[in-house]
Amino acid sequence: MFTGLIRDLGIVASTRKTVYDALITIKTKKLPADTLALGASICCNGVCVTVSSRDKKQFTVLASGETISKTTLGDWDKGTLVNLEPSLRMGDELDGHLVFGHVDGVAECVSIKEEGESKRFSFRAPDGLMPYIASKGSVAIDGVSLTVNEVEKNVFGVNIIPHTLQHTRFGHLAKGKKVNIEIDMLARYVARRLEYGEKKKA
């Protein structure tokens, strides 16, 4: 489990992809890779993966074909920037919102607008996820905990402050690029409960 607060901006050092999976090595900057336990979970651009090896400056993860098919991970190549967050520990402060690292879908950046020192990013999400995305609700984009500003049809907007632009891959994101999104777990269960209630009435 994670908070959606990025601890480091890593960079893909190498990838080895097969028909079934991908072995990805990521270099870290501020996060000492050798502090990550073998077998530990780490959130990489919103995807919860497992550390399979590490040294002081980099770590390696193995991603399954299922993960590759449901996330942007299949597009990662050498030089790809990766938002990194180690798993939450008991007693840690929860400053963002609960992020599980279970990506629900891939969204596309459709516009970026300057708003003072911040930037307003708009994303087009799959139709099936839009019922779970609400104005002033929470969403995780590439693992970053964010508040939804507005929703219109299948597009939603978020405001990115300078600190987040500087310390995450948002500062390098361009129109047309794809991102991983995870809807708020509370929204998921409320919607499921309402759906179940309607089915019982029928």
- List the chain domain ranges: 8-86, 105-197
Asked if 80 contacts 70 with a C-beta cutoff of 8 angstroms, the reply is no
Between CA 148 and CA 156 the distance in angstroms is 7
The residue whose two tokens read 């990506």 is 103
The tokens for 169 are 């891959």
Judge whether residue 192 has pLDDT over 70: no
The predicted pLDDT at position 18 comes to 84
The predicted pLDDT at position 91 comes to 59
- Check the CA dihedral 84-12-17-74 and report its sign: positive
Assign 196 a pLDDT band (cuts: 50, 70, 90). low
**Residue ranges of E strands in 116-192:** 118-124, 138-141, 144-152, 155-160, 178-183
The C-alpha R_g of the chain, in whole angstroms, comes to 17
What average pLDDT does the segment 151-163 reach? 96
CATH code, residues 105-197: 2.40.30.20
CATH class of 8-86: mainly beta
Q: Do domains 8-86 and 105-197 have the same CATH topology?
A: yes
Per-chain mean pLDDT for the chain: 90
Assign 31 a pLDDT band (cuts: 50, 70, 90). confident
What average pLDDT does the segment 125-140 reach? 92
Between CA 148 and CA 83 the distance in angstroms is 19
